[in-house]
Amino acid sequence: MFIAANWKMNLDKKSINFFIEHLRDYKFSDDVNVCIFPPTIYINFLNELINNLPISIGGQNCHNLSFGAYTGEVSAASLKEFGCEYVILGHSERRIYNKETNQHIQKCAELAIETNLKPIICVGENLSVRENGKAINFIKKQIIECLPEKFEEIIIAYEPIWSIGTGKIPHKTEIKEMHKNIIEIVNSKTKKNVKVLYGGSVNENNIEEILSVNNVCGVLVGGASLKIKDFLAIYSSAVKYLDKIHNIED
The reply on whether position 110 binds ligand PEP by CB under 6 A is no
The reply on whether position 100 binds ligand PEP by CB under 6 A is no
CB under 8 Å to 82, separation ≥6 — which residues? 43, 44, 47
Binding-site residue total for ligand PEP (CB under 6 A)? Answer: 13
- By CB under 6 A, name the one of 58, 90, 218, 222 that touches ligand PEP: 222
Which of 100, 110, 125, 159 is an active site residue? 159
The reply on whether position 201 binds ligand PEP by CB under 6 A is yes
Nearest to 144 by CA among 189, 181, 93: 189
**Length, in residues, of the chain:** 250
- By CB under 6 A, name the one of 55, 108, 129, 202 that touches ligand PEP: 202
Give the nearer residue to ligand PEP in terms of CB position, either 10 or 190: 10
Give 111's strand partners. Answer: none
- By CB under 6 A, name the one of 119, 170, 200, 218 that touches ligand PEP: 200
Which window, 16-24, 111-119, 183-191, 215-223, contacts ligand PEP (CB under 6 A)? 215-223
Nearest to 62 by CA among 10, 117, 15: 117
Give 197's strand partners. Answer: 157
Q: Which residue is nearest to ligand PEP (CB)?
A: 222
The reply on whether position 199 binds ligand PEP by CB under 6 A is yes
Angle at 226 between CA 231 and CA 112, to 5 degrees: 95
DSSP letters of 109-137? HHHHHHTT-EEEEEE---HHHHHTT-HHH
Residues at the site binding ligand PEP, with contacts judged by CB under 6 A = 6, 159, 164-165, 199-202, 220-224
Residue numbers annotated as active site: 91, 159
